[in-house]
Structure 1
Amino acid sequence: MYVINLRYTGALAEIDDALDAHRVYLERYFAAGVFVIAGPKVPREGGVIVASGIDRDRLDAIIAEDPFAQQRLAHYDVIEFKATRLAPGLNLPEPFVDR
């Protein structure tokens, strides 16, 4: 699994202009089963995406498709981790947790 930490590098007006395209991008990869969680940071200085089920090279290619990346509006830090525990009641498919 990966945690993708986005830090905005563009002005919020530029982020707002690209937001609809960014949401379409997110929806495409949620539908493909790659993204499992996403949302903005508080305060609004970037966002976080959790991705799973792909290798790092493919993830890097997917990140490059983000309109924020294409317009150089965000910096991306990617942290890979191995999920070994899941809170009771959290409904993630079994492949997301390595027991």
Structure 2
Amino acid sequence: MFIINLTYKVQLEKVDNYLNEHIEFLNEQYELGHFVASGRKVPRTGGVILSNVNSKPELEGIIEKDPFKINNLADYELIEFVPTKTSEQLSFLLES
């Protein structure tokens, strides 16, 4: 499992120009079962995505399709972790 930490490199106005495309990308990844949760940081300096993709190379390939990555709007930090405990609602994470 991975935490994807996005940090914007450009002004928010430019980010907002690609926001709808980014949301379409996110929706596709949710439908494929690659992403579990996502959202904006507070303050809005980037975002965080929780991914249940098993390999870093596979996740890097997925990220290459993100309009924010394609248009060089954000830096991406991938943090791999093994969930050993979750809430009952998220117990499916340990089963996959």
State whether structure 2 residue 83 is matched by structure 1 residue 97.
Answer: no
Give the TM-score normalised by the residue count of structure 1: 0.91
2:78 alignment counterpart: 78
How far 1:10 moved relative to its partner?
A: 1.2
Q: Does the 8 A contact of 2:2 with 2:53 survive in 1?
A: no
2:42 alignment counterpart: 42
RMSD: 1.2
How far 1:55 moved relative to its partner?
A: 1.2
Q: Which 5+ residue runs of structure 2 have no aligned equivalent?
A: none
Q: Which amino acid aligns with 1:77?
A: E
Q: Secondary structure at the match of 1:97?
A: helix
Which of structure 1's runs of 4+ aligned residues deviate more than 3 A?
A: none
Q: Distance in 1 between matches of 2:94 and 2:29?
A: 20
How far 1:92 moved relative to its partner?
A: 4.4
Q: Does the 8 A contact of 1:9 with 1:73 survive in 2?
A: yes
State whether structure 2 residue 57 is matched by structure 1 residue 60.
Answer: no
Q: Which 5+ residue runs of structure 1 have no aligned equivalent?
A: none
Number of aligned residues: 95
Q: Does the 8 A contact of 2:53 with 2:59 survive in 1?
A: no
Q: Which amino acid aligns with 2:33?
A: G
